[in-house]
Amino acid sequence: MTRLVDPHVRYQRSYLDASDEFAASGDTRDGDGLWQEEAEGGYTGFVFTRARLEDRAAFEAFVAHRRRAREADAPRRPGWVPCTFLWITDDADTYVGSLAIRHQLNDYLFTKGGHIGYSVRPSARRQGHATAALRRSLKAARERLGLERVLVTCAEDNPASRTVIEACGGTYEDSREHTRRYWITTS
């Protein structure tokens, strides 16, 4: 069964294995991903690289950063919004992907990113994880954030995500900048 869980250090090994899968496949859609952020507008950022996250303390800091991102006063880059990060796990309690629920929309998210974004590791695709995770996230968006409807987007050339969004009740509004935009009622 697919579950949505808060980021936790117990997923370190399967998280890193998934990161390796994303890298090997050339897929850049891992929304939870490893990244480097430079100082910008007074925000000094964090550096989380694949090699650094092998270290338990660094992974604990990464998890703490992910969990704190939902708080209104959490440090974030200028223009970024509070976001609840959840990890997608399977029956074996293995990390299979990530999901982000953005608490509000800015101009970029309204055009391209939406309220909810998700990614599933290549070896776990076509097993229903994305559909189950998106369905569960709708309940979380309503109960945790009071969102009655959410915007979910996908690239024009991503038929798999299009199928997932439509299976979860997405109503197509339009396409902007090569991005399909759907609204989903959370009730």
Supply the pTM of this predicted model: 0.91
Element (H, E) at 59: helix 56-68
**pLDDT at 43 > cutoff 60:** no
Return phi, psi of residue 3, to 5°.
-130, 155
The pair of structure tokens assigned to 143 is: 């109960």
Mean pLDDT of 157-173: 97
Does pLDDT of 37 surpass 50?
A: no
Mean pLDDT within 120-143 = 97
Indicate if the pLDDT at residue 39 is higher than 50. Answer: no
**C-alpha angle 24-76-36 in degrees, rounded to nearest 5:** 30
User: Is residue 138 over pLDDT 90?
Assistant: yes
